[in-house]
Amino acid sequence: MSSRPKTEIQPRQVASSALAACLVDAVPPLTPTQALLEAERCLYCFDAPCAQACPTQIDVPSFIRRIADGNLRGAAQTILDANPLGGMCARVCPTEDSAKARVWPSQGAMRAVSRPCAPSLARGH
């Protein structure tokens, strides 16, 4: 059995304050009310380019409709039924570029509108 080569990189523990500073959101998530207002802007397109472009095949119009109805838990369930890691989708959604031109002129809107969903499922609302 060979021994591991020595490296110059030494493991260390990062202070919790430094870690928290690294993990803070660049843009804060929308409140449930803000998400509802953004969801109401959805056109529910016949061809739904957002749903066609979604790599995890989430029924985007369905979860947007549930947000617009104030049903964040149902929206989260729609997302998580298609993708167990759906909470990450809200941070890295590649689909929003297809929807942005039609519906949301603000960059990050698709991500922002879906972010309040997953925490509502965890909180039991």
Look at residues 99, 29, 113, 36 and name the one whose alpha carbon lies nearest to residue 68.
36
What are the domain boundaries of the chain?
28-123
Contacts of 99 (CB under 8 A, 6+ apart): 49, 50, 60, 109, 110
Model confidence, pTM = 0.66
Convert the pLDDT of each residue in 100-112 to its tens digit.
545 554 445 566 6
- Up-side HSE of residue 64: CA atoms within 13 Å toward CB? 25
* Ramachandran quadrant class, 6 (left: phi over 0; alpha: psi -120 to 50; beta: rest): beta
Closest C-alpha to 120, from 25, 33, 28, 20: 33
pLDDT at 125: 47
What's the CATH fold of domain 28-123? Fumarate Reductase Iron-sulfur Protein; Chain B, domain 2 (1.10.1060)
- pLDDT value for 69: 92
pLDDT of residue 105: 43
Chain segment 1-59, per-residue pLDDT in tens: 566 666 677 777 878 888 777 777 666 778 888 888 888 888 888 888 788 878 888 88
